Structure 1
Amino acid sequence: MKFGTYVFEPKKAEGFDFHLFRVKPEVGRRLAPMPDMYSNVAIFGDNVTARNHPDWISQSALGPAWRTNDNFNVRWDILCHTQPEHREEQLDYIEDVARHSPGVWLNSIHFADHGHCTCPRCQELWKKSGLSWLEWRRKEVTDYMREVSERVRDRAKKKFVIGVLPDPVSSYERFGIDFDDLAPLTDEFLVVMFSKNYATPWYWEMLTRGFKKLFKDVKLNIALYVFGPGDNPAEVPAPSELVTLSVRAGRAGADGILYLTDKASQLWDFQKAVVDRVELRQKLKTYGCQEVLDYFQSWEKVVE
């Protein structure tokens, strides 16, 4: 297993195997990639571009994919997946980011949600395709990911990781995602499992096990939420929950675990809290994933 950081600033925390920097998160702001940190890019979730081009927003019978539309589980503004200017600009941008960092990990690669997108362009493209609505969306997502993969893996010669939301059952119907289509295009997968509470680890362990089965031989990384921008410390996951879930996700087959924080310094706080949970770590020795516990023990040298 590998353990990584997932941060909003270009700073690394000691004691991790690799580092993922959010150079372009869903809010749409862009920062320069770092030569010693992987780059995380959100493609179609992009508040800045949506604000500058409101006519590019994804459409549906239940309304557009603004983050204020409560018909959908969207926390940012999502652009139409077939918007040609955005697609082409993102291809060039992602390739450039790849050339200036060790590789690219993607988020927001798909249609906004079920029923999207019904704009005139998408309607025309769908009808011309001769495919069913769901199969046309699947082809759009797969074909675009193939283009991105070629830019990162073939041209820039860098690592490429596709990120997906934690829905192993209905991602095809909701987003146009077919995991078997994407597997040959990526080096690894990332499943974002963010939550403000991991008090019931069984559910997250189940998701990990399910995705491990779906991804077959492609490595599975999961991302856990530690502390986000502007968070109240009283409203983030308890360190004990994260320790327990890490062990249970490890035994379920996760190949990598990333921990998201706003600042790199918050990772040190997390490491200190993990080291302090001596009794809990002792209890978890019977859970069947000593590898995670050994890694946590190595943090004792980091926080001493």
Structure 2
Amino acid sequence: MSVTIEYKGLSQIDGPLVVLEGVKGVSFDEIARLTLPDGQQRQGRVVLLDGDRAVLQIFEGTRGLSLSSTRTRFTGRPLEMALSPDMLGRIFSGVGKPIDGLGELFAAERRPVDGFAINPAARMYPRNCIYTGISAIDGMTTLIRGQKLPIFSGAGMSHNLLAAQIVRQARLESLNEPFAVVFCAMGTKRDTAQFFKDSFESSGALRRVVMFMNLADDPIVERILAPRCALTAAEYLAFTLDMQVLVIMTDITAYCEALRELSSASGEIPSRKGFPGYMYSDLASLYERAGMIQGRKGSVTLMPILTMPND
């Protein structure tokens, strides 16, 4: 019989991070549940281990936590997400919780959100395309299934309008193949988030879309997890339900800035412009989850949108 250890008190609180000392048997990326003095519960993720010292990201923020009275239990599991065919037409937060008022999702299965890059030896050569309805893309930089096709924009430009238009218009060559769009918005303003929702609902596109919304005032931890949740949903739809899936992410720059803020709070040595030195490998861990796999009918196609900093 396993025994769950509860740790009372915190060694340090620093922005979205808390530090516990004297922990045993804890793993990287493990989920912890924190209980506040008033009984309120919050969730955190282990982001750094140094001997018996663990650093946790707190999803709901650290406001109200007590250094002396907060109690912490480690679950022994990474962050997992509920997956089901009923995800289509639903709206989720950055950590995969339903926020559309339609109740909890009945899970056909649960998977860790971190996932893995596709083995290069198992990849299939992409040949078929996805039509976006944008002539400049379809005619000059065709979007191929399993491909990564970024869109570079600048502050104040109409990349949000373009993203919404692609979601509404995207289609396959054959109408007989199941097709879905996973849309992930990171660090977006409330009026922009409402624009996306209204645009998809009014056009009827929402019924084939899974939306993940992380607002600008949401914790940065959610912003870092949002694309991982979106890709986990896309992998389920593509490689379990045999669908062709287009993943649109905006804005990758907001994701990178969240990485920078978390790295700074962790006391890591910064790289150029304050971004962490591992930022590019972190982005690669997301991008390389897209593709086509031998023996599977589905595909994950990725279209990240980023606004160039200082533009």
More helix by share: 1
With the length of structure 2 as denominator, give the TM-score of the two structures.
0.28
With the length of structure 1 as denominator, give the TM-score of the two structures.
0.29
More strand by share: 2
If asked which structure has higher relative contact order (CA below 8 Å, sep 6+), I would say 2
